[in-house]
Structure 1
Amino acid sequence: MTTTITLETHSWPTRIVSRDNFESECGTHKHHGVTEEIVPPNSKRTVHISQSRSIEFIELPLPSSDAG
């Protein structure tokens, strides 16, 4: 089973944290890990969750207008 999620950011970035905890039924294949991605303002990302993957979305502060 897989669920597809589309994230659409606005004027601020969002951090996506994916946690994988997979082990095959026979025990020969295992994958455990954490992946982080920063999605920039005004963009889209499609991510997938399943019974072995969880995802957390964290809105980050607005980008500084002084940067430049």
Structure 2
Amino acid sequence: MASPGRPEEPEPIDHEGAAARESMNRRAHFVEISIQQAMRRREFDDLPGAGKPSGCATRTIRTGGSAARSSANA
């Protein structure tokens, strides 16, 4: 907090962190576009096990001393 009559100094800019976030955002965008294009080309249609549960569709949630089954989609 600045004292009366003195302007508050701006926070230093984290250029390395900003650059890393920008790089990560660009990579995520590239990956997302690549996946969408592959889906349009129907490259994922004939994968082994297509249409079957992956095995991680349900998980066990431990609450207190008991365990409850929960669907990942719920």
Greater RCO between the two (CA within 8 Å, min separation 6)? Answer: 1
TM-score, normalised relative to structure 1:
0.22
TM-score, normalised relative to structure 2:
0.21
Q: Which has the higher helix share?
A: 2
Q: Which has the higher strand share?
A: 1
Bigger Rg, structure 1 or 2: 2
